[in-house]
Amino acid sequence: MTLFSDARDHYSHRVRMVLCEKGVTCDIVDVDPNNKPEDLAEINPYNSLPTLLDRDLVLYEANVIMEYLDERFPHPPLLPVYPVARALSRLWITRVEREWSGRLDILMAGKGRETVITRARKELRESIIAVAPIFAEKPFFMNEEFTLVDCCVAPILWRLKAADISLPERSTKPLQKYMQMIFERESFRASLTEAELEMQD
């Protein structure tokens, strides 16, 4: 099994988190997004990252890869067993995609008009602050157990400093506690690349 991964990208990071959480042995190929190898274009029509190669199967799109890994390696399960809870987890992942991921992409790229970057930073910060109280309800993101939602959320939160976003301590205490717990989690530490470690310097 081989994962073509971008060492700075939060989509690749979430897949690496799942692999580490499952304890799956996988060859991780760090790919420069500006200089992709020819063999990636040969197996993935979109030439995108992350891309997972498992024997004859090629998967792209981080969320598709994560669900495949969860089903292929069922222990520990990273989606709830019951259909309603499972659907809610998928809905949270969709909300993270719509409300956080795109804005973070703009900030991490660091290109474009200053007004666009400033607006993305403001909107992402406000959206994260708005959901901060829910972290007081359960140990993980809307769940008693660690799930794929956490694998999507944690890489984004890790990049807040690199995106020049600071959170007010008083109103985000439950979130700050969650971040500390997740960032110290063994699978999270193992999933970090050198480039990602430097984001906290």
pLDDT of residue 112: 79
Domain closes at, from 41, 72, 103: 72
| Full pLDDT tens readout for the chain, 201 residues | 999 999 999 999 999 999 999 999 999 999 999 999 999 999 999 999 999 999 999 999 999 999 999 999 999 999 998 999 999 999 999 999 999 999 999 999 988 789 999 999 999 999 999 999 999 999 999 899 999 999 999 999 999 999 999 999 989 999 999 999 999 999 999 999 999 999 987
Q: What angle do CA 32, 37, 41 make, to 5 degrees?
A: 115
Question: Considering its fold, how many domains does the chain have in total?
Answer: 2
State whether 55 and 88 are in the same domain.
no
The HSE-up count of residue 56 (CA atoms within 13 Å, CB side) is 0
Residues 51, 59: contact at Cβ < 8 Å?
yes
Whether 120 is in a domain gets the answer: yes
Where residue 23 falls (left for φ over 0; alpha for ψ -120 to 50; beta otherwise) is left
Beta bridge partners of 53: 2, 58
Percent helix, strand and coil across the chain, each to the nearest 5? 60, 10, 30
Where residue 42 falls (left for φ over 0; alpha for ψ -120 to 50; beta otherwise) is alpha
3-state secondary structure 14-52: HHHHHHHHHCCCCEEEECCCCCCCHHHHHHCCCCCCCEE
Q: Is the dihedral of CA 39, 45, 50, 56 positive or negative?
A: negative
CATH of the domain at 93: 1.20.1050.10
Residues 17, 155: contact at Cβ < 8 Å?
yes
pLDDT of residue 137: 92
Asked whether the whole model's pTM tops 0.85, one would answer yes
3-state DSSP assignment of residue 168:
coil
State whether 114 and 48 are in the same domain.
no
Whether 134 is in a domain gets the answer: yes
Whether 198 is in a domain gets the answer: no
pLDDT of residue 110: 82
State whether 108 and 158 are in the same domain.
yes
Range of the domain at 68: 2-72
pLDDT of residue 172: 95
Nearest partner of 200 among 161, 168, 167, judged by Cα: 161
pLDDT of residue 181: 97
Whether 48 is in a domain gets the answer: yes
